[in-house]
Amino acid sequence: MRKRTVLLIIYLLVLFFPIYWMINTSLKTDNEILKELTLIPKDLTFKNYAEIFTSELWRSSFMNSIIYVCLNVIISLIAAIPAAYAFSRWKFRGSHHLFFWLLTNRMAPAAVFMVPFTELYYTLQIYDTHLAVALAHCLFNIPLAIWILEGFMSGIPREIDETALIDGYSFPRFFGKIFFPLIAPGVGVAAFFCFTFSWIELILAKALTVTNAKPVVVTLTVGIGAEGVRWGLLAAAGVLTMVPGAIVVYFVRNYIAKGFALGRV
Amino acid sequence: MKNRGWLFVIPALAVLAISAFIPLMTVINYSLHYIFAGSTPTFVGFENYVEVLRDSVFLQALVRQLVFSLGILAVEVPLGICIALCLPKRGPGVAVCLVLLGIPLLIPFNVVGIIARVLTQSAVGVIPEFFALFNYSFNVSKDPVDAFMTIFLLDVWHWTPLVALLCYAGLQAIPDAYYQAARIDGASAWKTFRYVTLPKLRSVLIIGVLLRFMDSFKIYAEPLLLTGGGPGDATTFLSLHVARKAESYQLGYAGASSFIYLFIVIVFSYIFFQLMTHIGKGETK
């Protein structure tokens, strides 16, 4: 048991070293980053963060990211919950093929879909809006959400559905009052994964936005590759992009632990 | 009555029609045409496919991609299982560990790329400095092996926690009674793992392997930010190659290569799916 704890701690240290290094870099002056290797910043500075917080560009890109990610989580869950219910409860004509087809959508290379997406969303007149990115991210998030939720729902005995319907519950009431609370941990886990994958996606978010909905991941890439990369600033922005995710993890941690305890992911 | 399932699937299908089906059809349409900016596309049949399959850059990228994807699976899956076994089973440590493991997953791909750049900068990065201690000059922008290994380790660093979290969920679902039975039968630690734990992890491992395999095929931002796919073509993976073609508006080529790419991923995923389902069944019998 002791040995395992030691191994775990070593692993977590390795895991967090790169993150520590980024935080470390974000607190240094550009001069120090380029001149020498220091484990702890010599001149502790918050200038990089101050620059981000006072810049309209950075603030709006953070807001854009949060808006489309939340929109995507909502759309994904609304579409996935009934579908997952259908897959977990009924074998209907073609259900097997449909399930596999849904999964293949996750494999679709985003790099290639960017051109068709651009054309399609121009036609629908939603190019460069939050909705466009949110819909595009459904490509990989709906299959994932269905997959996760189907697992959770299959773990709940069918007898519960039957008993509730015999007791005179209408289907919507049964779903809202009885079934939904039972799968709430699953919904939490699915929401967490959808949030994660939408938050970190770059290719589609980059292709589908120009200015109005420009997300933070795209703002981050600007200036890389050019001469004189501002490492401190980039590192600070990188640290800040982890914050919303960390907050989400904090809120859903009990759901995740419960969901994991059910053994259904 | 039997097909009411379809009614429930309609919302998902409606969204996917916009975000998956129509784009896929467009890609297939591109792949059958010769497209040049400004002119009307001409139908060329399978010419684009022939061109892609004869293109040595594509074939090299494909081999590199397969080596990479199978390599990370070989490292991430066993490592993930080990970490899951090391995690505490209950108590206050559980939530802490889960949150800590979850954090790397939330780092955007391009931030991972930035971290890699910061760590491997020549002259002042930590990793070159570390290797300098052993008189090895580590340089991602010059040495193809260094660049490839950096991307490889980066992926292992970023995604092993996902496998670990999935395996942990699977472990939690194994009732203690199984372990007690194994102990009473006098099974060794290895045998308990092999015949009790591993078969029970089957379903989560299927998800883990498939998810990692599919997603590793999509690796894009990390090599792009680290070295732009270089040095030479050392880190030009499939989606980087395809995206380059799409960005330079060689849509016919991009369409054909992405269809081939999608086909390969689906075939491999299907093989994994079948293999793992069957191996698992043999074990539990």
- How many other β-carbons are positioned within 10 Å of the β-carbon of residue B160? 24
Q: What is the pLDDT of residue A67?
A: 92
Q: Please give the Cα distance from B237 to A8 (Å, whole number).
A: 32
Residues A67 and A39 in one domain: no
Q: Using pLDDT thresholds of 50, 70 and 90, give the confidence band for residue B284.
A: very low
Range of the domain at A18: 1-45
Structure tokens at A128: 């460069």
ipTM of the complex: 0.78
The torsion region of residue B232 among left (phi > 0), alpha (psi -120 to 50) and beta comes to left
Residues A61 and A5 in one domain: no
Residues A6 and A132 in one domain: no
For residue A106, being part of any structural domain is answered with yes
Of A221, A235, A245, Cβ closest to residue B110: A221
Q: What is the pLDDT of residue A265?
A: 41
**R_g (Cα) of chain A, nearest Å:** 22
Of A104, A253, A265, Cβ closest to residue B169: A265
Residues A198 and A69 in one domain: yes
Q: Name the DSSP letter for residue B225.
A: H
For residue A253, being part of any structural domain is answered with yes
DSSP assignment of chain A, as one string? Answer: -HHHHHHHHHHHHHHHHHHHHHHHHHTS-HHHHHH---SS-SS---HHHHHHHH-HHHHHHHHHHHHHHHHHHHHHHHHHHHHHHHHHH---TTHHHHHHHHHHHHHS-HHHHHHHHHHHHHHTT-TTSHHHHHHHHHHHHHHHHHHHHHHHHHTS-HHHHHHHHHTT--HHHHIIIIIHHHHHHHHHHHHHHHHHHHHH--HHHHHT-SSTT--HHHHHHTTTTSSS--HHHHHHHHHHHHHHHHHHHHHHHHHHHHHHHTT--
Q: What is the pLDDT of residue B283?
A: 46
Residues A85 and A40 in one domain: no
- The helix (H) or strand (E) run that includes residue B7 is helix B4-16
More confident residue, B52 or A33: B52
Q: Using pLDDT thresholds of 50, 70 and 90, give the confidence band for residue B274.
A: confident
Q: How many residues does chain B have?
A: 285
For residue A75, being part of any structural domain is answered with yes
DSSP lists the bridge partners of residue A89 as none
Average pLDDT, chain B: 82
**Scanning every residue of chain A, which has its alpha carbon at the shortest distance from the alpha carbon of B175?**
A263
pLDDT(B195) > 50 = yes
State phi, psi for B43 to the nearest 5 degrees: -75, 130
What residue ranges define each of the domains in chain B, with the CATH number in brackets?
25-284 (1.10.3720.10)
Q: Is B22 on the interface with A (CB under 8 A)?
A: yes
The mean pLDDT of B133-158, rounded to a whole number, is: 85
Residues A61 and A83 in one domain: yes
**R_g (Cα) of chain B, nearest Å:** 23
Q: How many domains does chain A have?
A: 2
Assign B260 to helix, strand or coil: helix
Asked whether the beta carbons of A248 and A70 are under 8 A apart, the reply is: no
Residues A203 and A157 in one domain: yes
CB pairs under 8 A between A and B: 274
Hey, are the CB atoms on A21 and B115 less than 8 Å from each other?
Answer: yes
Residues A72 and A186 in one domain: yes
Enter the pTM of the model.
Answer: 0.82
Residues A20 and A62 in one domain: no
More confident residue, A225 or B45: B45
Q: Name the DSSP letter for residue B107.
A: S
Hey, are the CB atoms on A104 and B221 less than 8 Å from each other?
Answer: no
Residues A40 and A75 in one domain: no
For residue A1, being part of any structural domain is answered with yes
Q: Using pLDDT thresholds of 50, 70 and 90, give the confidence band for residue B279.
A: low
Q: Which residue has the tokens 């009790």?
A: B196
For residue A50, being part of any structural domain is answered with no
Give the domain CATH number at A235. Answer: 1.10.3720.10
SS3 content of chain B, % helix, strand, coil (to 5): 75, 0, 25
Give A196 to chain B, closest Cα distance, Å. 5
Looking at chain B from residue 91 to 150, which residues have their Cβ under 8 Å from any Cβ of chain A?
Answer: 94-95, 97-111, 114-115, 117-119, 124-126, 129
For B233-267, the pLDDT digits (tens) are 888 888 888 888 877 777 888 888 888 888 888 88
For residue A51, being part of any structural domain is answered with no
Structure tokens at A50: 């101050």
Of B2, B19, B23, Cβ closest to residue A92: B2
For residue A52, being part of any structural domain is answered with no
Maximum average pLDDT range among A32-41, A111-120, B73-82, B166-175: B73-82
Distances (CA, A) of A9 to A2, A16, A136, A250, B102: 11, 10, 39, 21, 15
Comparing CA positions, the residue from A40, A42, A46, A56 lying closest to residue A26 is: A46
Q: Which residues of B touch A110 (CB under 8 A)?
A: 218, 220, 239
Residues A186 and A92 in one domain: yes
Q: What is the pLDDT of residue B71?
A: 94
Least confident range from A112-121, A223-232, B17-26, B48-57: namely A223-232
Q: What is the pLDDT of residue A80?
A: 92
For residue A82, being part of any structural domain is answered with yes
pLDDT(B275) > 80 = no
The dihedral sign for the CA sequence A81, A127, B226, B254: positive
Q: Name the DSSP letter for residue B34.
A: E
For B208-238, the pLDDT digits (tens) are 888 888 888 888 888 887 887 778 788 888 8
Residues A208 and A115 in one domain: yes
pLDDT string in tens for chain A (265-residue length): 578 888 888 999 988 888 888 888 888 887 777 777 777 777 788 888 888 888 888 888 888 999 999 999 999 999 999 998 988 888 777 777 777 777 777 777 777 787 788 888 888 888 888 999 999 999 889 988 888 888 778 778 888 888 888 888 888 888 888 888 888 878 888 888 888 888 888 888 888 888 788 888 777 776 554 556 677 888 888 888 888 877 877 777 766 656 555 444 4
**Is beta strand B33-34 parallel, antiparallel or unpaired with respect to B42-43?**
antiparallel
Sequence-distant (6+) residues with CB within 8 A of B192 are B179, B182, B183
